[in-house]
Amino acid sequence: MAKKPGKDKANSTGTIAQNKRARHEYHLEEHYEAGMALQGWEVKAIRAGRANITEAYAVVRNGELFLFGAQITPLIQASTHVVADDRRTRKLLLHKREIDVLIGKVERDGYTIVPTSLYWKGNKVKAGISLAKGKQTHDKREASKDRDWARDKQRVMRRHNRDA
């Protein structure tokens, strides 16, 4: 039986993994969308939701961008014939101009390239990466205070609107 034409909605859109810690640890400035060079077993594992980019980072080597530390845990049944390395270095695919901009910012201005998310775009896996500068401890505390104040303000406004 042939498949119906159209997209498989369950597997073609949506977020695979997010790096929530990146927003806490860094000031995220410029965002880019990069493709990823993956092996077949990795795509199957990603579809099963076995990806983690919390400790991942990106590095430029020889004019190319690579993702280090991203963990894609292999499925037992999908990778029987392959020796699967769950934390292997994966190549990120960007245009040469974008890589040149990233190289300039990292080498001259002291930025870091941090992966912020993995998501589906059509049937391809994309990585959202950002140029980031590290936050100091006082910046983290201030961000926490701002978040708490916004939450309290919303609570007060809701109570005020309910009573009115």
Tell me: pLDDT of 8 over 90.
Answer: no
Domains and CATH numbers, the chain: 11-135 (2.40.280.10)
Mean pLDDT of the chain: 84
> SS3 for 84-104, per residue?
CCCCCCEEEECCHHHHHHHHH
Instruction: Provide the pLDDT for residue 110.
Output: 82
pLDDT per position as a tens digit, 22-32: 888 888 888 99
Instruction: Provide the pLDDT for residue 143.
Output: 80
DSSP-derived 3-state class of residue 123 = coil
- List of residues 6+ apart from 69 with CB closer than 8 A: 53, 55, 56, 57, 87
Query: Which of 90-99, 105-114, 133-142 ranks highest by mean pLDDT?
Result: 90-99
Q: What is the pTM of this model?
A: 0.72
Among 5-9, 64-68, 133-137, the minimum mean pLDDT is found in 5-9
Instruction: Provide the pLDDT for residue 32.
Output: 93
